[in-house]
Amino acid sequence: MRVLGVDPGLTRCGVGVIDADSPRSPHLVDVGVVRTSPHMDQGHRLLAIEEGLNAWVQTNRPDVIAVERVFAQHNVMTVTGTAQAAGIAMLVAARHAIPVALHTPTEVKAAITGSGRADKAQVAAMVVRILKLDQAPKPADAADAVALALCQLWRGGSVNRYAAAVQEHAARRGRR
Amino acid sequence: MRVLGVDPGLTRCGVGVIDADSPRSPHLVDVGVVRTSPHMDQGHRLLAIEEGLNAWVQTNRPDVIAVERVFAQHNVMTVTGTAQAAGIAMLVAARHAIPVALHTPTEVKAAITGSGRADKAQVAAMVVRILKLDQAPKPADAADAVALALCQLWRGGSVNRYAAAVQEHAARRGRR
**A80-126: per-residue pLDDT in tens?**
899 999 999 999 999 999 999 999 999 999 999 999 999 999 999 99
Measured between CA atoms, the residue of chain B closest to residue A175 is B38
CA–CA gap between residue B151 and residue B5 (Å, rounded): 9
pLDDT band (50, 70, 90) for residue B156 = confident
- Active-site annotation holds for B107: no
Q: Which residue in A38, A86, A100 is closest to B41 by CB distance?
A: A100
Chain B nearest C-alpha distance from A35 (Å): 13
Chain B nearest C-alpha distance from A80 (Å): 6
pLDDT band (50, 70, 90) for residue B162 = very low
What is the rounded average pLDDT for all residues in chain B? 88
Q: Which one of A7, A19, A50, A107 is the catalytic residue?
A: A7
- Active-site annotation holds for B51: no
Q: What is the pTM of this model?
A: 0.86
In this prediction, residue B23 carries a pLDDT of 81
Q: Which of A86, A100, A115 shows the shortest CA–CA distance to A149?
A: A100
Measured between CA atoms, the residue of chain B closest to residue A47 is B91
Chain B nearest C-alpha distance from A33 (Å): 17
Residues of B in contact with A83 (CB under 8 A): 79-80, 83-84, 87
Interface test with A, best of B46, B67, B73, B76 (most A CBs within 10 A): B46
Q: Which residue has the higher pLDDT, B103 or B172?
A: B103
Q: Strand A64-68 to strand A2-7: parallel, antiparallel, or no bridges (unpaired)?
A: parallel
Q: For the segment A26-77, what is each residue's pLDDT rounded down to a tens digit?
A: 999 999 999 999 999 999 999 999 999 999 999 999 999 999 998 766 555 5
pLDDT of A15 above 70? yes
pLDDT of B165 above 80? no
Long-range contacts of A86-89 (CB under 8 A, 24+ apart): A86/A6, A86/A8, A86/B80, A86/B84, A87/B42, A87/B46, A87/B83, A87/B84, A87/B85, A87/B87, A87/B88, A88/A8, A88/A46, A88/A49, A88/A50, A88/A53, A88/B87, A88/B91, A89/A6, A89/A8, A89/A13, A89/A49, A89/A53, A89/A65
Task: Report how many Cβ contacts below 8 Å link chain A to chain B.
Answer: 96
Q: For the segment B92-115, what is each residue's pLDDT rounded down to a tens digit?
A: 999 999 999 999 999 999 999 999
- Mean pLDDT of the region B5-11: 96
Interface touch A41/B170, C-beta < 8 Å: no
ipTM computed for the complex: 0.83
Residues 6+ apart with CB under 8 A from A152: A3, A5, A64, A66, A101, A103, A159
In this prediction, residue B73 carries a pLDDT of 60
CATH, domain range A2-175: 3.30.420.10
- Intra-chain end-to-end CA distance of chain B, in Å: 39
Q: Which one of A19, A50, A107, A141 is the catalytic residue?
A: A141
Q: For the segment B79-97, what is each residue's pLDDT rounded down to a tens digit?
A: 889 999 999 999 999 999 9
In this prediction, residue A29 carries a pLDDT of 98
Percent of chain B with pLDDT over 90: 77
Q: For the segment A121-166, what is each residue's pLDDT rounded down to a tens digit?
A: 999 999 999 999 999 999 999 999 999 999 999 988 544 444 454 4
Q: Which residue has the higher pLDDT, B79 or A9?
A: A9
